[in-house]
């Protein structure tokens, strides 16, 4: 089953088959980030919808890697899908999203049917430490303008300490901001600032159910975790994004945490975890990005 629910995400990732290998999609302007460029996770989900249609027995991304080759723009696009190999568990696929004949992103993935995977949970992971939602901040409430279109699609609640970097971005007092990031404490004992870690509560607006393809957007939609390390604040372009989806999320708010441990030679990784309302891990992600230069 593809199991996509209805709502803005389902509508804006619709894919229409053109022929054996090509799908028509429309890059919606509703998923733009600051500056108007479409969110990278949304573009990956667009390619993913075409793939899911190409391999209906395996509609879910078990692991999907995207390389961003050239900026995409709102408007029509075409996704070409190559099925490289199909087994019982996985279909291996390659996909290219093109606009005006030019490749904008290249995808390599293993799709599966998440419903067929079983086995006991094991491991040391726990859901992100976050203050209760009512103690967190809705970016829309603190005049963080101009709000990019994608924020109309997604409810976000960030811990109060997460916004200290915003002072730095405003050029206010970068030294003070650096200190506040590492010194911030939360009297509940949950959600104290950890340098390099940005946790948040997230869900779609409008009550739309979160789906495996929707998780691809979630893994690329928060402020960069590197901002919490106290260095320069600026553009953090994604070079490559890989998302492993483990489960279809339960309904309700999700908790995410993004972590950057190593900024070296102008490069950084950002690792993400997504947990659902039933305290189950539903996805992990990692991206390679260019470090901000201030």
Q: Residues 55, 214, 244, 254: which binds its own copies (CB under 8 A)?
A: 244
Determine if the peptide bond prior to 146 is cis (ω within 30°).
yes
Closest C-alpha among 127, 67, 59 to residue 90: 59
The least distance separating its own copies from the CB of residue 112, rounded to whole angstroms, comes to 9
Q: What CA–CA distances, in Å, run from 260 to 80, 181, 243?
A: 33, 14, 16
In whole angstroms, the minimum distance from the beta carbon of 216 to its own copies comes to 15
Asked if 160 contacts 136 with a C-beta cutoff of 8 angstroms, the reply is yes
DSSP state of 26: E
Question: Does 122 engage in binding with its own copies (CB under 8 A)?
Answer: yes
Under the criterion CB under 8 A, does residue 145 sit at the interface with its own copies? no
Segment lying near its own copies (by CB under 8 A), choices 6-14, 82-90, 160-168, 198-206: 82-90
Q: Which of 73, 106, 144, 186 touches its own copies (CB under 8 A)?
A: 106
Strands 15-17 and 22-27, bridge-based pairing: antiparallel
Q: Report the distance separating Cα 197 and Cα 246, nearest Å.
A: 22
Q: According to CB under 8 A, which one of 35, 101, 120, 171 is a site residue for its own copies?
A: 120
Q: Toward its own copies, which CB reaches closer, 48 or 139?
A: 48
| 199 lies in the site for its own copies, by CB under 8 A | no
Choice between 3 and 195, CB closer to its own copies: 195
Query: Exposed e or buried b for every residue in 174-191, given b needs 16+ CB within 10 A?
Result: beebbebbeebebeeeeb
State yes or no: residue 171 binds its own copies (CB under 8 A).
no
DSSP at 157: E
Nearest distance from C-beta of residue 138 to its own copies, angstroms: 28
Binding flag, residue 114, its own copies (CB under 8 A): yes
Q: Indicate whether 242 belongs to the interface with its own copies (CB under 8 A).
A: yes
Binding flags for its own copies, 221-240, as an x/- string (CB under 8 A): -----x--xxx-------xx
> Cα separation of 45 and 51, whole Å?
10
Q: Decide: is 5 part of the binding site for its own copies (CB under 8 A).
A: no
261: Cβ–Cβ under 8 A, 6 or more apart, which residues?
196, 269, 271
Binding to its own copies by residue 8, rule CB under 8 A?
A: no
Tell me the window of 28-36, 156-164, 207-215, 263-271 that interacts with its own copies (CB under 8 A): 263-271
Residue whose tokens read 């209805």: 6
Classify the C-alpha dihedral 256-6-23-98 as positive or negative. negative
Q: Does 129 bind its own copies (CB under 8 A)?
A: no
DSSP 137: B
Residue 230 DSSP one-character state: T
Identify which of residues 9 and 227 has a Cβ nearer to its own copies in the complex. Answer: 227
- The verdict on 117 binding its own copies (CB under 8 A) reads yes
Angle at 238 between CA 55 and CA 252, to 5 degrees: 60
List residues binding its own copies (CB under 8 A): 62-63, 65, 67, 69-70, 84-85, 90, 92, 94, 103, 106, 108, 110, 114, 117-125, 195-196, 226, 229-231, 239-240, 242, 244, 246-247, 260-269, 271, 273, 280-281, 284, 286, 288, 291, 293
């Amino acid at each position: 089953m593809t199991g996509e629910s209805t709502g803005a995400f389902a509508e804006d990732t619709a894919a229409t088959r053109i022929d054996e290998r090509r799908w028509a999609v429309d890059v919606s302007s509703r998923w733009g980030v600051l500056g108007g460029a479409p969110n990278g996770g949304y573009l990956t989900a667009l390619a993913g919808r075409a793939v899911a249609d190409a391999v209906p027995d395996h509609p879910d991304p078990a692991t999907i890697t995207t390389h961003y080759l050239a900026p995409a723009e709102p408007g029509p696009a075409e996704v070409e899908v190559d099925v490289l190999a199909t087994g019982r568990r996985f279909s291996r696929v390659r996909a290219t999203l093109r606009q005006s004949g030019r490749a904008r992103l290249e995808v390599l993935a293993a799709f599966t049917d998440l419903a067929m995977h079983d086995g006991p949970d094991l491991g040391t992971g726990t859901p992100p430490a976050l203050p209760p939602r009512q103690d967190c901040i809705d970016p829309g409430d603190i005049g963080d303008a101009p709000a990019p279109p994608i924020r109309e699609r997604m409810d976000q609640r960030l811990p109060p300490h997460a916004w200290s970097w915003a002072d730095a971005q405003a050029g206010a007092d970068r030294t003070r901001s650096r200190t506040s990031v590492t010194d911030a404490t939360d009297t509940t004992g949950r959600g104290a600032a950890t340098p390099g870690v940005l946790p948040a509560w997230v869900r779609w607006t409008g009550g739309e159910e979160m789906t495996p393809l929707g998780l691809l957007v979630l893994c690329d939609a928060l402020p960069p975790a590197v901002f919490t390390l106290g260095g320069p604040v600026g553009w953090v372009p994604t070079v490559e994004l890989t998302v492993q989806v483990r489960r279809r999320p339960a309904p309700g708010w999700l908790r995410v945490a993004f972590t950057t441990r190593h900024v070296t030679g102008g490069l950084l990784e950002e690792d993400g975890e997504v947990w659902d309302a039933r305290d189950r891990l539903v996805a992990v992600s990692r991206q390679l990005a260019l470090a901000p230069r201030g």
